[in-house]
Amino acid sequence: MLLKDRVAIITGGAKGMGRGMALKFAEEGCSVAIADIAIKEAEEAVAEIKKKGGNGLAIKCDVTSGQQVGDTVEKVVNKYGKIDILVNNAGAIAAHVPIEDLTEESWDRVLALNLKSDFLFCKYVVPHMKKRKYGKIINLSSIGAVQPPAHEIHYNTAKAGVLGFTWDLATALAPLNICVNAILPGPVRTSFYDHKIGSFTEEQKDTHFAALGKKVPMQRVGTPEDLAGAALFLASELSAYITGQSLYVAGGLPLLPPMPPPPPPTS
């Protein structure tokens, strides 16, 4: 098992990519604490982990609250005695609007959820990692940080900030054997898109994601399992000498989709 006897916190692990990572980590021997505001779904994910023989803990946490983040970290340390892995996965997008119509409240909310939350969890987790001179921190950025697919300036700005945050922290913690890396997902079929297609039928969703996949070089959207595999690599000793890196898990993006074949020669 790649994560035998390790302890991880995964923020936003109740569903989508975070849930996929939680299940994968648990399969590899890791005790997984899911920190999520959606406590019902978090408890369901932990129940699934335990049903398969794993060890998990669900904690209701507003990841933008320093008090709740600090309490969450304390609960994990009290239960397991350490934190080896931190996955800053929590995040969400708001309906995109032109910048002149974007409210200050919406800007602050999206930046807090997608960037401030990473800062808060690292603030409280890093001291525990420093004591043991070991740690793996994985921050979820987005392809939108480097190639915005739409004018979602608050979200794309936050995810670009995650990259700067990752590079700075990786430099500071490298001498202490704490690796800090970022994952940049491309389009992944999860409830992340519900703000746009939540009211669609399943057939309409199939059509939407099929069309979205055509914009990807590999001609499909990603799955939570795709992200879980990459996160497992960065959380394990397979990546012991890797820090400060940005890993695209995006089906080939930001490469362009395949070019159409040339027309047949004319006679």
Model confidence pLDDT, tens digit, residues 18-39: 999 999 999 999 999 999 999 9
Q: pLDDT (tens digit, 9 = 90+) per residue, 202-213? A: 888 888 889 888
d(CA 6, CA 235): 10
Mean pLDDT computed over 122-142: 98
Residue with more model confidence, 99 or 200: 99
Q: Structure pTM?
A: 0.93
**pLDDT given at position 267:** 62
Q: How confident is the model at residue 95 (pLDDT cuts 50, 70, 90)?
A: confident
Weakest mean pLDDT among 108-112, 164-168, 193-197: 193-197
Check whether 164 has a pLDDT greater than 80: yes
The count of other CB atoms within 10 Å of the CB of residue 52 is 11
Cβ within 8 Å of residue 88, ≥6 positions away: 11, 117, 118, 121, 122, 137, 138, 139, 140, 162
pLDDT at 198: 67
CA 131-135-141 angle, 5° bins: 135
Range with the lowest mean pLDDT among 1-10, 91-100, 126-135?
91-100
pLDDT at 92 over 80: yes
CB atoms within 10 A of CB 73: 24
> Is 193 annotated as catalytic?
no
d(CA 256, CA 213): 12
**Helix H or strand E encompassing 198:** none
* CA–CA dist 132, 74 (Å, integer): 16
Q: 7-249: which CATH topology?
A: Rossmann fold (3.40.50)
Which residues, other chains included, contact 114 with Cβ-Cβ below 8 Å and sequence gap of 6+? 91, 92, 155, 158, 159, 162
Cα distances from 141 to residues 44, 99, 105, 218, 247, in angstroms, run 26, 21, 22, 20, 9
Reported residue count of the chain is 267
H/E segment holding residue 30? none
Q: Which two tokens stand for residue 179?
A: 């690796």
Mean pLDDT for all residues in the chain: 94
The residue among 117, 97, 98, 119 whose CA lies nearest residue 109 is 117
Residue 148 CB coordination number (10 Å): 17
* Residues with Cβ within 8 Å of residue 192, at least 6 apart in sequence: 16, 17, 92, 93
Burial of 13 (0-12, 13-18, 19+ CB in 10 A): buried
Q: Please report, for the chain, the start and end positions of each structural domain, with discontinuous segments joined by +.
A: 7-249
pLDDT of residue 200: 78
Using alpha carbons, list the distances in angstroms from residue 175 to 107, 183, 187, 189, 239: 35, 22, 35, 38, 16
Q: Among the options 80, 124, 155, 193, which is catalytic?
A: 155
Q: Which residues pair with 59 in a beta bridge?
A: 35
